[in-house]
Every structure is written in structure tokens, then in C-alpha cells.
Amino acid sequence: LVPRLQPFTSTIFAEMTALAVRHEAVNLGQGFPDTDGPAGMLDAAKNALFGGANQYPPGPGRPELRAAIARHRLRYGAEYDPDTEILVTAGATEAIAASLIALTQAGDEVVVIEPYYDSYAAAVAMAGAERRVVGLVERDGRFALDVEGLRAAVSGRTRAILINSPHNPTGTVFTRAELEAVAALCVENDLIAITDEVYEHLVFDDAEHIPLATLPGMRERTVSISSAGKTFNCTGWKIGWVCASPELVAAVKAAKQFITFVSGGPFQPAVAHALDHELPWAENLRTSLQDKRDRLAAGLAEAGFAVRPTAGTYFVCVDVRPLGFEDASELAWELPERVGVAAVPVKVFTDHPEEWKHLLRFAFCKRNEVIDEAVTRLRKLR
């Protein structure tokens, strides 16, 4: 393995899920739902599967899916031409990697917000670029963007900035003011923004998802990425997409076509159906997840953790120190065996483990009885 990929030999999700299976633990580590998506979407996949949609789809994605993505993006007032400005990918993961490979190279720096989804660091490394990490800061009861830190991280070598909102693992949803600060920085320094919006529909209370591309000056310089996995409970389908200017989409496509070429033939028309017809289902998912957030947060607080607020995604972070632990990572490794629950330590998503070592992430995209069982088991930690 080449040195630049040596830090990336395994993922925390694979490791924790394996540990959960070994100890028959309730798995609140890896974030994936334990119920299926809308029946209409599943039917559409079945019909496509038996209707002959089993060969290579077109390179940019099936036209009806690109058209549905364009219609969906209109909800934010953002217009994209399905023929030149939309590319279907193998999940958001491929979209992120292909964007970085296509747009950055050795000598370039990519600004990444910490904690960051694990694939970002690996994808920046695969591109041969370097990451410059800026941490979120706890302020006013939430994890906020460190605008000054962000400004300081941008140099003459900075080519792109990667923004994830709603944010995994903290559950932060960036405010308009925070996004405006990012936009100002991008415009002043002529940076490309790559946005990971996979949790765009999973926002709670009065939080609002605002695509960075909709801010003044950002449409032409933003690669907006999302996927169907979280919105429609189909994380295994790996249908993602890129919306950007024709030039940026053409660049990402140049990389994408030699990574997977295409993928997910029969799932593409099913996701097109879902985007056009199943958003009411997704709205129900959102409200049910908000209840699950409250249910798990209350249980974790009862178990003795200090619970951090979550405005979006399906994750909640807790501080383990009130229970007498210093390092959430040590706790995460012994938790499946000790009480039969799996969670993920936040420090593995950072370059500064000391600063983040007290936080543990739990996923609440699970049936209520599963959440309750996890809480019952976690109460034994006291």
C-alpha cells in the first residue's frame, strides 16, 4: 500500500459493526436505518429489475433520474440543466472522491471541517492533495463554525473547501450566517466548494437546510452533492448525485467514468420515482426521526451522559466524562462486550484526538424498541 493511503486500512464503521455482531450488541454505531424505504420506491425497483433495466445505464445517469434530481433541487430555488449540470454517482461517497480527484492535485490544499466524515481524508489523500483541518467550536450550546479559524486556514495553495451540513457526526446544521462566511471566503479566494448534503431532509425543529450553492456568487463554484440513502432509507443502493456548472460536472465525470463508469441500473428509476412522489414519506421519516432523537437523547441523559444537541442527521453525540470516563474511544471499544451496545468515538473523525476524545456518537435511525433496549443496557454503566 502506498504511504499516503496507509492511514486508511480500515473504517471505524466496519470495525464497530464487526464488534457489535461478535457480542450481539445493539448497534448504534454505524448509521443505517433498520426499516425499509417507501413501498412505492421498492415497487419501482422491482419493476425495473424485472423490466429489463439490468444493463449499463447511461454514463451521466438515467435521464428520468437526472430530470427528477433537477426538479428536486428546485425546492431550494436552484435550477440545474439535467443534461449538462447533473451527474449520477455511486453514492455521495463516489461523488466526493471523484470531485476531489478531478479538481485537486499534489500541491493543493483542501480545507476540511473537523470532525469530518471518514471518507474525506482518504479521498483528499487519493487525490494527492493535502487537507487543512479546522475544528468546529462549542458555542451557544451547539457546535459552530470557527469562521476566524477557517479564514486562517486558507492559503495561496487552497483549492477547495469541503462543507458537510447537516453535519455528521455532530448534528450541526449550519446557519445562513455561517454559510455566508464560507461563501465570502470562497469568493474572495476563488475557491471551489464541495458540499455534502446527504442529510438535507433530516433537519429538526426550526433548523433549515440551505444549500451553499444558493448563496450569491456560489452557483458557479459549488459542487453540490447528495444521495438517496438517508432520505429514503436505502443506504445500500448507493445512488448519489452531483449538481454543478457544466464545467465542474464535466470535470467530475472525467474521474467518475473511470472509477465505476456507472452503477445501480435498476435503482436509478426507483430513486427517480422517490424524488418525484415520496417526499411526503420522507417528511414522515423526518418527524419520526425527530421523536427518536428525543427518545434516545432522554435515555442517554438518564444513563448519565451529557447529551449534546442535534439539529439534523440521525446522530447524537454525548460527553462521557460525567460517567467517569476520560476517553470515549476506550469506552467504545469495551462497550459491546461490557453492556451490549455499539457506538462510535468522535475522535476517529479528527486530526486532533485529544480535543475530541470525550465524545461518543450514537445513531438513532432505529426502531423504538431497539433504542429502548440500548438505553436499558446503557443504564448499567452507572
Chain residues in the site for ligand GLN (CB under 6 A): 11, 13, 30-31, 168
Q: For cell 440500548, name the residue.
A: 374
Is the Cβ of residue 241 or residue 305 nearer to ligand PMP in the bound state? 241
| 376 vs 303: CA distance, rounded Å | 8
Is the Cβ of residue 104 or residue 227 nearer to ligand PMP in the bound state? 227
Report how far apart, in Å, the C-alpha atoms of 368 and of each of 201, 335, 358, 374 are.
20, 20, 26, 10
Q: DSSP strand E in the chain: where?
A: 26-27, 86-90, 109-114, 130-135, 137-139, 142-144, 158-164, 192-196, 222-227, 239-243, 306-307, 315-319, 341-342, 344-345, 359-363
Q: How far is the CB of 250 from ligand PMP (least distance, A)?
A: 22
Q: How far is the CB of 168 from ligand GLN (least distance, A)?
A: 5
Is the Cβ of residue 29 or residue 340 nearer to ligand PMP in the bound state? 29
Q: How far is the CB of 119 from ligand GLN (least distance, A)?
A: 7
Neighbour count for residue 170 (Cβ, 10 Å): 29
Interface characters, 146-165, with ligand PMP (x: CB under 6 A): ------------------x-
End-to-end Cα separation, the chain, in angstroms: 43
Report which residue type is found at 305. Answer: F
Is the Cβ of residue 93 or residue 104 nearer to ligand PMP in the bound state? 93
310 near ligand PMP, judged by CB under 6 A: no
Report which residue type is found at 164. Answer: N
Q: How far is the CB of 345 from ligand GLN (least distance, A)?
A: 12
Q: How far is the CB of 225 from ligand PMP (least distance, A)?
A: 8
| Residue 196 host element (H or E) | strand 192-196
Partner that binds at residue 82, options ligand GLN, ligand PMP, none, CB closer than 5 to 8 Å by kind: none
227 near ligand PMP, judged by CB under 6 A: yes
* Residue 345 bridge partners (DSSP): 360
| Residues lying near ligand PMP in the complex (CB under 6 A) | 91-93, 117, 164, 168, 196, 198, 227, 229, 235, 238, 240
